């Protein structure tokens, strides 16, 4: 009987030890995954900061290295659009589009303001399209953000080309270059 008790205790001790080792390994794996996520988030944030610094370096709107709250909001909205175009909520609010317009003004020598002044007949949708082209969004990204099909983006670009009185013999890629250089 004593022998059975000794064997049972040894068996139980080994079983408990294995169970603890398994739980410890599972916990370590869980912590490793969380650490990888945190490192990725940190790296993403560092990349955002680097992009932010590159964009704002030497801009005339940034005086004495002072960056305003609206500069930061506009930049974050741009980054959000770039990162999450496939999952972004369609039909952004007017305030969010204003952030995008402000951002395009900041990084593109007052692009939105000059465009609005030169072409007052442009509506909100056309202005959005111009800014998205200027910020080098793809047709697919533009379609997702505007809640339309890619073919509709191409038609909208053609209509925009006519509204802006751009040479009708120019191709759409040349039109993009025209918007980017405007």
Tens-digit pLDDT profile for residues 51-74 = 666 655 555 444 445 566 676 777
Give, rounded to a whole angstrom, the gap between the first and last alpha carbons of the chain: 94
Residue 82 shares a structural domain with residue 26: no
Residue 89 shares a structural domain with residue 2: no
Residue 95 shares a structural domain with residue 171: yes
Residue 68 shares a structural domain with residue 111: yes
Contact indicator for 88, 81 with CB cutoff of 8 Å: yes
Q: What string of DSSP letters covers 77-135?
A: HHHHHHH-TTTSPSS--HHHHHHHHHHHHHHTTSHHHHHHHH-TT--HHHHHHHHHHHT
| Neighbour tally for 126: CB within 10 Å | 17
Q: What is the pLDDT of residue 7?
A: 78
Q: Which residues pair with 66 in a beta bridge?
A: 63
Residue 127 shares a structural domain with residue 107: yes
Residue 27 shares a structural domain with residue 72: no
**Confidence (pTM):** 0.58
pLDDT at 44 over 90: no
Q: What gap in Å lies between CA 130 and CA 108, rounded to an integer? A: 12
Residue 118 shares a structural domain with residue 161: yes
Overall number of domains in the chain: 2
Q: Who wins on pLDDT, 120 or 2?
A: 120
Residue 73 shares a structural domain with residue 28: no
pLDDT by residue (tens digit) across 93-124?
Answer: 777 788 888 888 877 778 888 888 888 888 88
Residue 95 shares a structural domain with residue 162: yes
Q: Which residues of 141-179 are buried (b: 16+ CB within 10 A; e: fewer)?
A: bbbbbbeeeeeebeebbeebbeebeeeeeeeeeebeeeb
Structure-block tokens of residue 96: 């969010």
Range(s) of the domain holding residue 120: 63-181
Q: What percent of the chain has pLDDT over 70?
A: 77
Q: What gap in Å lies between CA 99 and CA 88, rounded to an integer? A: 16
> Of 34, 57, 80, which residue constitutes the final position of a domain?
57
Q: Who wins on pLDDT, 151 or 11?
A: 151
Residue 108 shares a structural domain with residue 171: yes
Residue 43 shares a structural domain with residue 96: no
> Of 57, 82, 100, which residue constitutes the final position of a domain?
57
Quick check: helix, strand or coil at residue 63? strand
Residue 95 shares a structural domain with residue 153: yes
Q: What gap in Å lies between CA 32 and CA 128, rounded to an integer? A: 42
pLDDT, mean over the chain: 78
Q: What is the pLDDT of residue 51?
A: 66
């Amino acid at each position: 009987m004593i022998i059975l008790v000794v064997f049972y205790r040894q068996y139980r001790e080994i079983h408990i030890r294995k169970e603890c080792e398994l739980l410890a390994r599972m916990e370590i794996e869980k912590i490793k995954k969380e650490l990888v996520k945190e490192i990725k988030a940190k790296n993403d944030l560092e990349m955002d900061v680097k992009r932010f610094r590159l964009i704002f370096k030497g801009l005339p709107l940034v005086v004495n290295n002072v960056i305003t709250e609206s500069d930061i909001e506009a930049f974050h909205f741009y980054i959000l659009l770039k990162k999450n175009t496939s999952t972004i909520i369609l039909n952004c609010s007017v305030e969010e589009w204003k952030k995008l317009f402000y951002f395009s003004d900041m990084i593109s020598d007052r692009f939105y303001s000059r465009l609005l002044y030169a072409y007052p007949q442009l509506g909100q949708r056309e202005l959005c399209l111009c800014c998205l082209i200027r910020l080098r969004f793809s047709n697919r990204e533009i379609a997702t953000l505007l809640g339309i099909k890619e073919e509709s983006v191409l038609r909208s670009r053609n209509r925009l080309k006519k509204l802006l009185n751009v040479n009708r013999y120019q191709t759409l890629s040349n039109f993009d270059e025209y918007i980017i250089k405007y």
